[in-house]
Amino acid sequence: MEDDITRQVDEIESLSSIYDKDWRTEDEACRSYAMNVTNSVTLYVTLPPNYPSQAPPTYQISAPELSHDEKNQISRVLEETYLENIGETVIFQWIEAVKTYLNNKSDLLENLVSLTSMQEINNDTLEYTYNIDKGKDKKEKKNLPKITHGEIVVDRKSTFQGHTACVSSVEDVKCVLSELYENKKIANATHNMYAYRILKEGGKCMLQDFEDDGESQAGKRLLQLLQIMDVTNAVVVVSRWYGGIHLGPDRFRHINNAARQVLLSSGIARQK
């Protein structure tokens, strides 16, 4: 452990020197730090005592202007980078990997604007792309399941809110998610984790799945909650807006409580 702490100290000193004011200490006692990768993207990391020899840093990504899919892609990049450097310090590689991803994304957008100005993308294609991004047409909007929004919980600047709806198909789940993402505040949440269970074919087949959206194990815990509460034909989503202070295991308690509260208040689940 002493060797790990020494390597952590050396790494932090090096990062502070390289990135200057963009690198800052959030909580020295908890060994939590933040890196302003861009004006709108911040990477928060916390170093466990056995990093880097045995464990990776924990991280959060604050990026209000990125979609949940883009944040998921960044998470995959970070995880792949760690796996390629197990046992080594990786924060510098993480920062540069995020920068590379954002630069590539920016280049792609610039090329798209350039092609559009040259009329190499016709209006039909643009309209088709727009419809895909919107996620549903008028028919889907009409048949949209009713969504119930739960109470807002705030702890150390992090905010949690649950959302739920009755669903009878995976398409219903997609419609609910698409409707939620049309709300700019929800779309800009640090995480939108969810789980659903759908009973099919006269009770003989259960469709169920979950999504962590960058908050490792959160989606699986939501699915377990649905199973424990014996909830079927429903989707539950919990939005979290990260406030810059790591909550540790408390974040899972808030996620669980936000989901439970909205399931009960909507009448989808019953108090046992």
pLDDT at 112 over 60: no
Q: Under DSSP, is residue 203 helix (H, G, I), strand (E, B) or coil?
A: coil
Name which residue leads in pLDDT, 271 or 69: 69
Q: And the tokens for 14?
A: 């090096």
Distance CA 233, CA 200 (A): 9
Q: Are 47 and 89 in contact (CB under 8 A)?
A: no
Q: Which residue has the tokens 């505040």?
A: 185
Give the tens place of pLDDT for each residue, 17-53.
Answer: 888 889 999 888 889 999 999 888 999 999 999 999 8
Tell me the mean pLDDT in the region 204-229.
86
* Residue 127, amino acid: E
Could you give all domains of the chain from N- to C-terminal order, each with its CATH number? 2-103 (3.10.110.10), 138-265 (3.30.230.30)
Q: Are 92 and 14 in contact (CB under 8 A)?
A: yes
Q: Which DSSP symbol is given to 92? A: H
Give the tens place of pLDDT for each residue, 113-157.
Answer: 443 443 433 333 333 233 333 344 444 455 788 899 998 888 888
**Measuring CA to CA, how many Å separate 201 from each of 116, 175, 195?**
47, 21, 20
Q: Under DSSP, is residue 36 helix (H, G, I), strand (E, B) or coil?
A: strand
> Of 22, 58, 65, nearest to 40 (Cα)?
65
Confidence band (pLDDT; 50, 70, 90) for 161? very high
Confidence band (pLDDT; 50, 70, 90) for 272? low
Q: What is the DSSP string of 127-142?
A: HHHHHHHH---HHHHH
